[in-house]
Amino acid sequence: MKKAIYPGSFDPVTFGHMDIITRASQLVDELVVGVLNNSAKNSLFSLPERVSMIEEMTRDLPNVTVASFNGLLVDFMNEIGATIIVRGLRAVTDFEYELQIAQANHVQDERIETVFLTADFKYSYLSSTIVKEFASYGGDISHFVPQCFIDRIYQKYSQKG
């Protein structure tokens, strides 16, 4: 049984994340999308909001579940019995940090392996930060996130503004 975790902030989840989730779900028996409860990061969406958006988006993928976690990823992986970390690589700028984290996690627990999937070229520019940046100025985000999330994202900025 190969159980993997795809960890991230997903603030909010994008088509780029969804592409990685779909492809990773075909490589393992079970994929858990792990939403980091990063209290230090000022997130636009609350943890339950981020979890439920990913649940909506992955509804049709039977071997994908969504969970939130605090603290060390390796501890959470031990708790749920996962041994594989999935990460997406968009550009060389992602590489240095990802390499360090992957090696550090392997040192923590040598059963843990990190698997990198290269971003689809259609989404290699896309990040949650780009979505927020465009939405904050009322830009078109229909190429970044599903239609059903657009109003929810804009609403966050009208609440603020």
Q: Could you list the residues that contact ligand ADP (CB under 6 A)?
A: 8-10, 14, 16-17, 20, 87-88, 90, 94, 119, 123, 126-129
Identify which of residues 57 and 88 has a Cβ nearer to ligand ADP in the complex: 88
* 17 a catalytic residue: yes
Which residue's entry shows tokens 């939403």? 35
The catalytic position among 39, 41, 59, 158 is: 41
The least distance separating ligand ADP from the CB of residue 11, rounded to whole angstroms, comes to 7
* 50 a catalytic residue: no
CA 122 to chain centre: 17
Q: What is the CA radius of gyration of the chain?
A: 16
* 128 a catalytic residue: yes
* 90 a catalytic residue: yes
The residue at minimum Cβ distance from ligand ADP is 16
Centre a 10 Å sphere on the Cβ of residue 43 and count the other Cβ atoms it contains.
Answer: 20
The least distance separating ligand ADP from the CB of residue 38, rounded to whole angstroms, comes to 9
Identify which of residues 1 and 42 has a Cβ nearer to ligand ADP in the complex: 42
**Cα 54 from Cα 127, distance rounded (Å):** 15
Identify which of residues 6 and 30 has a Cβ nearer to ligand ADP in the complex: 6
CA-based max dimension of the chain: 48
1 burial (CB, 10 Å; 0-12 / 13-18 / 19+) is exposed
Q: Which residues are catalytic?
A: 17, 41, 90, 128
